[in-house]
Structure 1
Amino acid sequence: MIHAESPSAEEDLATVHLSDPPSIYESAMSSVRSPPSPPSDTPSLFRAITVTDPRREIEAANPLPGSTSFVTYSVTSSDHHHQALSVRRRFRDFVTLADRLSASHRGLFVPPRPDKSTVESQTTAQPGEFLERRRAALERYLRRLAEHPVLGRSEELRVFLRAEGRLPMAGPTDVASRMLDGAVRLPRQLMGEERPAAEEAAQPARSGRDMLRIFKEMRQAVVNEIGGARPAAAVEEDREFLERKERVQDFEQRLSTASQQAEMLVKCQHDLEETMGELGLAFIKLLKFENEEATCDSQRVRAVEAKRVATAAVKASRYYRELNAQTVKHLDTLHDYLGLMLAIRAAFSDRSNAQLTVQTLMSDLSSLHGRAEKLEAASSKIFGGDESRIRKLEEIRKTIRVTEEAKVCAVREYEKIKENNRCEFERLDVERPQDFLSMLKGFVQAQVGYAEKIANVWENIAEETRHYATDRTLSV
């Protein structure tokens, strides 16, 4: 960035004329058109989404001075019938949307939402700058959701974008409340007075509402880690998935390396921008000195030449600034895919948790069947049967029926997550080459186009100052 040290220098910079004719490269590339992307089989319900007008508001429940304030954003969406609707949403509503999508679409690569950076909001020199960054991040997040073939048509996103007034979706219960609820239920579960519904068993135990199952799944995880016997039907045998998982891990490492190199490139171009700007200022100062202290024609001639070099240096500095902005724009695809890696890991975690639930329920069934067989054998040895053993046997059989239903739901959920993983990998295989090809094409066009502009600047200077080399040759 150019730092002017005096008002007069800034005025001289403002007089520099930077208009240029279109470059040959730009003219040649203007005729090149990328082939249109194939239309999606399940287009999004929304054709355009914008987030604007951040506005600070006071909590309605406590309007006293000094009360907690929050920022709301105007979210405008238009459907394919060009019907636009605007609603106001606060950041907490975005958190609720993200949690609901993750819970209802397990196994999908749900784009991660922007983080709530309280520290950054307090330390940023310009509060408006922080709000603008967050606004842009939230807009980008919603557009990614809308572009997803499944999430873009989800009921959660539709309600978020179209429901007027306060968001009708209930926010997530905090972890402490869920754990407290689970602790209250635990004694009744241990006494056999309460059993979870089959549908509840299909959900991840780590939600905290079923402490007994949390302990059982922790035990099963330990058994898996130390190499104990696992239910054969629940062991991950999808070789294609395991190979894809390895490729994703390798891709993430390469992506991280490429992202670091992209940041280094941006820094180098920024340094060039500042260096060219400082060079231009130095020649402007020389120009002013020569004009103010000129006593002969040679000094006035040097002043004219100094202005030419200053103009060229400032032009080059601004071109480097524009180039850097284009570089950040195109190489931001790397950062987008780094964020996608978080979503992929979350989908893998959904799959592992669902598999662990199936393993735990199958282990429970095996244990229950063993207990039932022992009670049946013990009861058969007593003439007329043992009433207490018969009651226990009936309770165990009832528990077996409930656990069987839970296992069926858990297996169904696990298969659904596996299918979601497979579909997402297929989508990624199609979109990733297109995204990176577009990124590289834009990056190369920017680099070559601005390199040509900067070269033309210095070629013009070389042409205008050629007589110095001629005079030197004649003098020799």
Structure 2
Amino acid sequence: MMGSESYLGFEPSPATREEMETLALGDGEDDPFHSSMSSLSAVPATADPLLSPPDMAPSSSFLDPPAYADVAFSSPNGSGSSSGSPPLSRNPSALLNHRLPIEYAKIMVSNPQKEHEHAAGNSLVPGSGTFVTYLITSRSLDAGSGSGEISVRRRFRDVVTLADRLAESYRGFFIPPRPDKSVVESQVMHKQEFVEQRRSALEKYLWRLACHPVIGRSDELRVFLRVQGKMPLPASTDVASRMLDGAVRLPKQLFGEPGGGYVAPQEVVQPAKGGRDLLRIFKELKQSVTNDWGGVKPPVVEEDKEFLERKEKVQDLEQQLTTASQQAESLVKAQQDIGETLGELGLALIKLTKFENEEAMYNTQRIRAADIKQVATAAVKASRLYRELNAQSVKHLDTLHEYLGLMLAVHSAFSDRSSALLTVQTLMSDLSSLHIKAEKHEAASSRIFGGDRSRNRKAEELKEMIRATEDAKNCASREYERIKENNRSELERVDKERRADFLAMLKGFVVNQVEYAEKISNVWSKVADETSRYVRDNI
């Protein structure tokens, strides 16, 4: 993401930045150029063989650029903020300025502390026995639910659990992705820089969740933020344990033990990739291969043309965002280069001015040194303005990166939809196979005179499997329809918010560019007026 002073690693030269920030641009009594100009006033104009001494009016002190709110939402002529402009966020961690949380007035992550894992006292892996907890402070907007501030301590594992619970309960929604878990976390968690980066990432993640119209009201988020003590949400089962459970169930499913040959209705609402049902994974893999290479149309296909069109538009939007983000990086880098070049030019001219004053033998040299000082001061002022302009440009253009991050959530929601559709297709194929098997069994039994207990028992088992598979198929179909509706509502929401976000980004960016262009132009116009005597008459 973009930073306030740099953009993806582009940093000004530390030495140049320090010199420009500490450079005095005023005309104080202790200014070395002030004494030079005082000495010039005592020299008569006739002593200068080239030109008369200039009328050196004192330059006005340098004014800092306006605040972000004044720049982004004011007209170029300096009038106040226009009506209808989106208000600034109440928390700097909320990245899209005009969008505020629905349920929470404050969410802050602070005070990271290192703690020891009691169960890992004899671990051989360095750092594996310690973890970092963060103090999460929140204040609710709902006075009836206790609006006071509540602080809880959570570790990153709790954040992973929260993300997993949200992914299970809100399939089809564009859930903001959580910060990644570092593969070398145990080695780097002791570094303050890593801890601070994670703290900032967690705060932004929680604000994104709180700003979501559905996730922001969820019980899972409320429990995470408001319930003190150990987080009551059930922790996620690791992949190895899930695969072990699936391996234990697999023989029962393959050998047709009672209850082992079909999927329970409560299990089809979650994707098969969890690992607890290996047979289901194999069946859905077979169905996927059949859909792609079998040449047979699946029993159910994606027929929502509006969704397919929107999906293509989302893919186009992602490509456009990638291109625009690269162009934004180039723009910020170019503005930074201009600012650094002007700063280095100003410093070089100031050093030249100092040399000219120290070695000056004639009044003309002192006058030219004073003029060089004016150009140098203007260059340093312009450099500072470019740095301020760059910082504000980064804040505006960060909207592009926010939407690039949102694309991960969009793809995850579309994957939920595809997974649910594949589950329905697999269950319908299983149901068709069971009906065919039952018909063959009934036809074979009708040719045998008298009853056969084993055949009757087999027929009852087939009927039970058909009934259970039918229930699972109906449950999977309802889940698929629910995910489709969630996708539809989320696409409509993001489309509206995208228009507002990009309009605010463009408005703020353009106004910001115009404001600072005028300031930089005024700096150079003043220098041009003060040095206009060097313009020769063409006559």
Q: Which of 63, 66, 80 matches 1:30?
A: 80
Q: Judging changes above 3 Å, is the alpha-carbon distance between structure 1 residues 340 and 30 closer, same or farther for their aligned structure 2 residues? A: same
Q: Which of 152, 155, 160 matches 2:219?
A: 155
Q: Is it true that 1:220 corresponds to 2:287 in the alignment? A: yes
CA RMSD, aligned part only?
Answer: 2.9
Displacement after TM superposition at 1:67 (Å):
4.3
Q: Judging changes above 3 Å, is the alpha-carbon distance between structure 1 residues 30 and 64 closer, same or farther for their aligned structure 2 residues? A: farther
The one-character-per-residue Cα deviations of 1:84-137 (angstroms, maximum 9, x if unpaired) are 11222222222221121111100001111222346699799x954444443332
Displacement after TM superposition at 1:405 (Å):
1.1
The residue type paired with residue 248 of structure 1 is V
Equivalent residue for 1:286? 352
Displacement after TM superposition at 1:379 (Å):
0.6
Displacement after TM superposition at 1:20 (Å):
5.8
Equivalent residue for 1:57? 115
> How far apart in 1 are the matches of 2:468 and 2:217?
34
Q: Which of 337, 341, 346 matches 2:403?
A: 337
Q: Which of 92, 103, 109 matches 2:157?
A: 92
- Secondary structure, counterpart of 1:33 in structure 2: coil
Displacement after TM superposition at 1:46 (Å):
1.4
Q: Is it true that 1:75 corresponds to 2:75 in the alignment? A: no
The one-character-per-residue Cα deviations of 1:217-237 (angstroms, maximum 9, x if unpaired) are 0000011001443443x2111
Q: Which of 326, 345, 360 matches 2:426?
A: 360
Q: Do the aligned partners of 2:138 and 2:149 also contact (CA within 8 Å) in 1?
A: yes
Gaps of 5+ in 2: 1-11, 27-60, 88-97
Q: Judging changes above 3 Å, is the alpha-carbon distance between structure 1 residues 142 and 378 closer, same or farther for their aligned structure 2 residues? A: same
Displacement after TM superposition at 1:298 (Å):
2.4
Equivalent residue for 2:467? 401
> How far apart in 2 are the matches of 1:363 and 1:314?
74
Displacement after TM superposition at 1:460 (Å):
1.0
The residue type paired with residue 349 of structure 1 is S
Displacement after TM superposition at 1:5 (Å):
7.2
Q: Do the aligned partners of 1:4 and 1:281 also contact (CA within 8 Å) in 2?
A: no
Q: Judging changes above 3 Å, is the alpha-carbon distance between structure 1 residues 265 and 123 closer, same or farther for their aligned structure 2 residues? A: farther
- Secondary structure, counterpart of 1:70 in structure 2: strand
The one-character-per-residue Cα deviations of 1:424-464 (angstroms, maximum 9, x if unpaired) are 11211221111111111111111111111111111111111
Gaps of 5+ in 1: none
Displacement after TM superposition at 1:396 (Å):
1.0
The residue type paired with residue 267 of structure 1 is K
Give the fraction of aligned pairs with identical amino acids, expressed as a percent: 62
> How far apart in 2 are the matches of 1:252 and 1:179?
35
Equivalent residue for 1:236? 302
- Secondary structure, counterpart of 1:74 in structure 2: strand
Displacement after TM superposition at 1:72 (Å):
2.5
> How far apart in 1 are the matches of 2:476 and 2:17?
72
Q: Is it true that 1:144 corresponds to 2:208 in the alignment? A: yes
The residue type paired with residue 154 of structure 1 is S
Provide TM-score, normalisation by structure 1. Answer: 0.90
Equivalent residue for 1:249? 315
Which moved further from structure 2: 436-445 or 55-64? Answer: 55-64
> How far apart in 2 are the matches of 1:288 and 1:327?
35
Q: Which of 3, 23, 26 matches 1:13?
A: 23
Q: Judging changes above 3 Å, is the alpha-carbon distance between structure 1 residues 176 and 83 closer, same or farther for their aligned structure 2 residues? A: same
> How far apart in 2 are the matches of 1:64 and 1:29?
67
> How far apart in 2 are the matches of 1:123 and 1:18?
44
Which moved further from structure 2: 431-440 or 159-168? Answer: 159-168
Q: Is it true that 1:167 corresponds to 2:231 in the alignment? A: yes
Q: Which of 271, 277, 301 matches 1:210?
A: 277
- Secondary structure, counterpart of 1:388 in structure 2: helix
The residue type paired with residue 83 of structure 2 is R
> How far apart in 2 are the matches of 1:87 and 1:235?
47
Displacement after TM superposition at 1:31 (Å):
3.6
Displacement after TM superposition at 1:370 (Å):
0.6
Q: Judging changes above 3 Å, is the alpha-carbon distance between structure 1 residues 457 and 224 closer, same or farther for their aligned structure 2 residues? A: same
Q: Is it true that 1:458 corresponds to 2:502 in the alignment? A: no
The residue type paired with residue 13 of structure 1 is L
Q: Judging changes above 3 Å, is the alpha-carbon distance between structure 1 residues 130 and 270 closer, same or farther for their aligned structure 2 residues? A: farther
Q: Do the aligned partners of 1:358 and 1:410 also contact (CA within 8 Å) in 2?
A: yes
Q: Do the aligned partners of 1:58 and 1:67 also contact (CA within 8 Å) in 2?
A: no
Provide TM-score, normalisation by structure 2. Answer: 0.80
Which moved further from structure 2: 65-74 or 162-171? Answer: 65-74
Q: Do the aligned partners of 1:72 and 1:88 also contact (CA within 8 Å) in 2?
A: yes
> How far apart in 2 are the matches of 1:304 and 1:131?
51
Equivalent residue for 1:440? 506
Q: Is it true that 1:312 corresponds to 2:417 in the alignment? A: no
> How far apart in 1 are the matches of 2:448 and 2:186?
75
- Secondary structure, counterpart of 1:149 in structure 2: coil
> How far apart in 1 are the matches of 2:203 and 2:438?
58
Displacement after TM superposition at 1:147 (Å):
1.1
Q: Do the aligned partners of 1:203 and 1:410 also contact (CA within 8 Å) in 2?
A: no
Equivalent residue for 1:390? 456
The one-character-per-residue Cα deviations of 1:256-286 (angstroms, maximum 9, x if unpaired) are 1111111111111111111111111111211
> How far apart in 2 are the matches of 1:284 and 1:473?
29
Q: Judging changes above 3 Å, is the alpha-carbon distance between structure 1 residues 12 and 174 closer, same or farther for their aligned structure 2 residues? A: closer
Q: Judging changes above 3 Å, is the alpha-carbon distance between structure 1 residues 121 and 192 closer, same or farther for their aligned structure 2 residues? A: closer
- Secondary structure, counterpart of 1:172 in structure 2: coil
Displacement after TM superposition at 1:198 (Å):
1.4
Q: Do the aligned partners of 2:75 and 2:81 also contact (CA within 8 Å) in 1?
A: no
> How far apart in 2 are the matches of 1:205 and 1:118?
25
Displacement after TM superposition at 1:394 (Å):
1.1
The residue type paired with residue 187 of structure 1 is P
